[in-house]
Amino acid sequence: MVPMRDEVSGSTGLMASSGSLTRRMIVIAAIWIAVLLAGGGFALDRVLTAAVTQNSDDQLEFVLRSLLVSAEIGPEGEVIFNREPADQRFLEPYSGLYWQVSAKGRDAFPSRSLWDRQLAHGEPHDDRGVHFYNSNQFGTEKLRVVERDVKLPGSTVRWRFQVAQSRAALDAQIGALRRTLVRSFLLLGLGLTVLAALQTYYGLLPLRKLRLEIARMRGGRTNRIAGPLPVEVAPLVEELNALVAHNETQAEEARRHAGNLAHALKTPLTVIMNAATAQSDDLADTVVREARTMRRQVDHHLARARAVGRRGSAHSRADVWPSVESVERAVRRLYPHVRVDMDGPKNLVAHIERQDLDEIMGNLVENAAKYGGGSVFVTVGAQAGFVEIMIEDDGMGIPEPDRIRIFDRGVRLDTGKPGTGLGLAIVRDVAEIYEGTVSLEESEDLGGLLVRLRLPMAT
């Protein structure tokens, strides 16, 4: 079967997907973890590199100070040391550890490890303090150099003391540190991503269970979602169960109305068929009479069906006062001799469709005008979350034993006036559909009947 395409969205019958929620959460977590680890790793690399470099510089500065302490001027103005540096690498050619004392216009005094090379004197600057820098003057052998300018006692010139060390060992330490850092952070990032994936999968597991439960409901294996659920999902499940219960109630009501209507129409149709089969002389009168009966039943069940269909809407709202005013105008035209007075706040809103409220009020106010003595009083008020409407008349009222029976379909206490006997039955059924009530009492002010209608107040 080819799936039907929606004319509005252009999509198939399946709901369009915006992507996997699990994948989206994992990707966001992975990106955030990567950003944090990259920033943290860069900062940690800077700190550790500076610490390793500072440690190497401290060792070079210690050697430089040893040279300065032991240096003095010889008989011919040359620089000599009263104590040679203890490190044997200064005696081995190209050992990677060097020192040199030089001055402008004077011969340099290098360590034996420099052999046939000399350290560059550098740009002219005043190095009375210790100065560290990197140098590539020996080509492939990169150096870390510390130098200081000192004027020795008995000397007329300022000598520059330099100690240099190959950066190979320092760079190797930094490289090993960075490799360890990268591997550790990659492993940490992978572990955190896996943890986020497991957390996401476990966190969304109730939604997967909910999907399976809904599939079971659709397959007819269960009619409710049961079982312990997290507090974040429980309200959703409660609303879903309430929706299912509401749909079942509506379906059951629809079946019951269909059955009641079929049963109500069965008897009139049987009477008509029997009269037609017997070729009765009053066939026409019989058809008219039974047709009226069937029409009353159809009107009654249609009114209930409309109310049931609209009850589920959360937006069912009706302003009470405009409905009362419109009903009052209609009744005043039908019964010019009847006076209808109204009182109460004009801003109350009931949880009911306006059409159903008009139908209820029309039945009640018309009955008060029809069976009363010419005076009708409508009072609107609010009480305990309900809109309360009282319709009073100055008629004969209804005896207390008949106040319940009068709500049955087809029951009429006054057969001298036209009517179907379905008005109060429709009022009761529609009010109950909206979880309201209707009751009959005796009016203390007018002495006739008091009808008390209570409907939920709209929020």
Is residue 179 included in any domain, yes or no?
A: no
Q: Is the pLDDT of residue 3 over 50?
A: no
The Cα–Cα gap between 194 and 190 comes to 6
Residues 280 and 341 in one domain: no
Residue 7 has pLDDT above 50, yes or no: no
How many CB atoms are located within 10 Å of the residue 159 CB? Answer: 21
Within this chain, do residues 397 and 317 fall inside the same structural domain, yes or no?
Answer: yes
Please state, in angstroms and rounded to a whole number, the distance separating the CA atoms of residues 402 and 396.
Answer: 13
The pLDDT, as a whole number, for residue 6 is 43
Task: Count how many domains the chain has.
Answer: 3
Residue 316 identity: S
User: Which pLDDT score, from 0 to 100, does residue 8 have?
Assistant: 40
Question: Is the whole model's pTM more than 0.85, yes or no?
Answer: no
Average pLDDT for residues 25-51, to the nearest whole number?
93
Q: Is residue 119 one of the residues assigned to a domain?
A: yes
Task: Give the domain range for residue 298.
Answer: 255-310
28 token code pair: 């966001």
Does residue 326 sit in the same domain as residue 281?
A: no
- The SS3 call for residue 251 is helix
* pLDDT, tens digit (0-9, with 9 covering 90-100), for 248-300: 777 777 777 676 667 667 777 887 887 788 877 778 878 888 787 777 667 66
Q: With contact defined as beta carbons under 8 Å apart, do 37 and 189 qualify?
A: yes
Q: What is the pLDDT of residue 219?
A: 77
| The domain boundary residue, chosen from 151, 167, 183 | 167
* CATH number of the domain that residue 355 is part of: 3.30.565.10
Residue-wise pLDDT tens digits, 409-425: 544 444 444 443 446 77
Please report which confidence band the pLDDT of residue 301 belongs to, taking 50, 70 and 90 as the band edges: low
Pair 275, 324 in one domain? no
* pLDDT value of position 5: 42
Position with higher pLDDT, 459 vs 130: 130
Q: Confirm whether 182 is domain-assigned.
A: no
Q: Are residues 262 and 375 in the same domain?
A: no
Q: Which pLDDT score, from 0 to 100, does residue 1 have?
A: 39
- Asked if residues 150 and 161 have their Cβ atoms less than 8 Å apart, the reply is yes
Domain assignment present for residue 115? The answer is yes
pLDDT in tens, 112-165: 999 989 998 766 666 678 889 999 988 889 999 999 988 888 788 888 999 999
Q: Are residues 360 and 287 in the same domain?
A: no
Mean of the per-residue pLDDT values for the chain? 82
Q: Are residues 392 and 293 in the same domain?
A: no
Using the predicted structure, report yes or no on whether residue 247 has a pLDDT greater than 60. yes
Strand 375-383's sheet: what is its strand order? 339-343, 375-383, 386-393, 449-456, 437-442
Whether residue 292 is found in the same domain as residue 336: no
Greater pLDDT, 107 or 188: 188
- Verify that 328 and 430 share a domain, yes or no: yes
| Same domain assignment for residues 280 and 269 | yes
Residue 2's pLDDT is 41
Q: Which three-class secondary structure state does DSSP give residue 341? A: strand
Asked whether residue 33 is domain-assigned, the answer is: no
Same domain for 293 and 373, yes or no, is no
Does one domain contain both 340 and 448?
yes
